[in-house]
Structure 1
């Protein structure tokens, strides 16, 4: 069931559900049917009971259905998270179900590894081309000295290459290469050969086209199936799909593929706590089976296999990156609107905006971690 926001907000029903929602929002800076950009304008009387029963799944789905609207979803999410409402993101039954599933089943097994590729990354290169910049980086940019998205993404790619201390002729493995952003940059500007792997057919096809004429090969392959040795290994925005049951296998695989003098750079979104959980809406509509690691998860899983040389957090930059993607998405939506429905448009706007708010509230982090096998000498990390 959908609602037409052109009819205007509905009169708020005098129900227990409404009063509970008002109490939760009290003091957050977000109001119901208010005039501020962060306020929620309700178009369906069942909105309140839906989000109380379904948490963020109901909040996101009801937005996709047009039951409510908000001029600045990013500001709304930031204020609500800073107010502590993230603790109410899942219903008890959802939290229990996810823990049971992730406890008894490997949600990121070899057999299930391609699910997120098919569900999200294969959605359409035409959409991602318009949302991202020319680098086709689908990960956090580095905004330290950047004036815009394209500069921030090039700076991120160059930062990763400098941290890896790339030299001409090296063979680099890119685990989760996406549309070939890092592979193209490293081959073109640092004279290295790159092997990139992805679990998305759409990404692999476009990455091969973008890297034509360069010493780059793109494989549709799971990281657990890799063989050989690589001078350097990099993984940008892929570890979020590994899953806690596979962290040990992931780091053991990296160790097996690195030579004694090698370096490995891990670039991942991180969680502030070590609970094994996933936002129900993100899990269903954006990144199926995704799990965000904590500092403890990464340290515990890697300590037997690799030596940590450097750890950098620039999570605040993801706010700027996501808002830039949203601006691109809105500006170019009309070019692809005939190929996607309105529900998809609202899904992407909600996803980009709410995630921006989460990074702004510092509920999420972005880490770059550099590892070695314990090679001699001091490692000086570029910034």
Structure 2
């Protein structure tokens, strides 16, 4: 990916300018200094960074980082301090108003648009993700309760989901947004179930063909969730709801209700945010997850109203910090293998993505929820699993 290099001004930094003083005073509230000596202090390498951040928010700030206009040794600690002090909520750039209105008024996750994230993000290549993820290629939050490494944390998460769904041999399970099939392969291997996975990524679907050749009762369907009509004993959706969009939450729940047998269980695993009024991050939207949107908890339960009984809700969002830091460590270790495919701008973009997101979970700005839903309520009550 090549980011157009913006023309840089030749003037020197003016520490006396009102914008510089304003930002310096703001950063002090998060114990961050401009051109300070600590690992989380920001180092300005070119003029215009502050004005771009003030006028264009995280979009301008992220693009200037991708261009090398500023640097922080410990990027995750920098963002953690910013978010924990909630400084990002005190600046409302005018350009973000347009982005916010656009997200509210337009269905950016329509059936036609849904394929865009698969093409731009998930189709970067299976080899790239294999170098960053665990051995099962699980691109969602691990469960670190009793785990000390990424592989164990991901297997613990997959087993947790299987136990929450009360899987039994012979059941048929639908995985909406199946990724590279890590859940389906694990559930088929350890619980004797048959799985059907839906994906909008051709790279993931092609990877899945190899799983089927290994004799596992797993089927990949290159299909939008809205087009699925078959019924299943269990449904799971792990890290896909973030791509559904608030205008489609109800339809998503209606599809799950239609495809789930009356005595079945549906587990929804999704990232969520704390404040309903916040718009999707414009930098993440442009460079990482096109058309993505995080729900608040009330939007999930509103969409499920009259269709499902909420049996259980589990928040282990702090575990996503550990997961993202493990992905970043793998990314850095394996980056030399991908230099020939991606340039320095891509490298800095990916670092910004992984480390800023780790900081957001660490600061508890965003969460990770697992909902267990049933159609009519489990007779006698649902026994919680942890």
Q: What's the TM-score, normalizing by structure 1?
A: 0.95
Indicate conservation of the 8 Å contact 1:175/1:196, yes or no: yes
Instruction: Name the structure 2 match of 1:239.
Output: 241
Structure 1 residue 32 corresponds to structure 2 residue 53? no
- Please state if 1:145 is matched with 2:146: yes
- Cα deviation for residue 24 of structure 1 reads 1.6
Q: How does 1:230-309 map to 2 (within 5 A)?
A: 230-275=232-277, 277-309=279-311
Cα distance, 1:13 vs structure 2: 4.2
> Are 2:212 and 2:218, in contact at CA under 8 Å, matched by a contact in 1?
yes
Q: Distance in 1 between matches of 2:46 and 2:15?
A: 10
Instruction: Note the C-alpha offset of 1:83.
Output: 1.1
Tell me how large the CA RMSD over aligned residues is.
1.6
d(CA) in 2 for partners of 1:231, 1:122 = 30
Runs (5+) with no aligned partner, structure 2: none
Deviations 1:67-86 (A, max 9, x none): 01111111011100111112
What's 1:16 paired with?
18
Alpha-carbon distance between aligned partners in 2 of 1:102 and 1:135, rounded to the nearest angstrom = 34
Q: Distance in 2 between matches of 1:347 and 1:105?
A: 27
Q: Aligned equivalents of 2:7 and 2:65: distance in 1? A: 10
Find the counterpart in structure 1 of residue 331 from structure 2.
Answer: 329
* TM-score, with length taken from structure 2: 0.95
Aligned length: 377
Q: 1:173 to 1:210 in 2, by over 3 A?
A: same
Cα pair distance change 1:112/1:90, threshold 3 Å: farther
Runs of 4+ in 1 over 6 A off after TM superposition: none
Cα distance change of structure 1 residues 22 and 276 upon mapping to structure 2, 3 Å threshold: closer
1:184–1:211 CA contact under 8 A, matched in 2: no
Question: What is the CA-CA distance between 1:11 and the residue it aligns to?
Answer: 5.4
**Aligned pair in 2 of structure 1 residues 135, 350: CA closer, same or farther (>3 Å)?**
same
Alpha-carbon distance in structure 2 between the residues aligned to 1:12 and 1:317: 41
Report the more deviating stretch, 223-232 or 84-93.
84-93
Tell me if structure 2 keeps the 8 A contact 1:133–1:150: yes
Please list every run of 5 or more consecutive structure 1 residues that lacks an aligned counterpart in the other structure. 5-9
Whole-angstrom distance in 2 between the partners of 1:274 and 1:302: 17
8 A contact 1:43–1:66 mirrored in 2? yes
Q: Kindly state the Cα deviation for residue 103 of structure 1 after the two structures are TM-superposed.
A: 3.3
Residues 174 and 196 in structure 1, CA contact (< 8 A), matched pair in contact too: yes
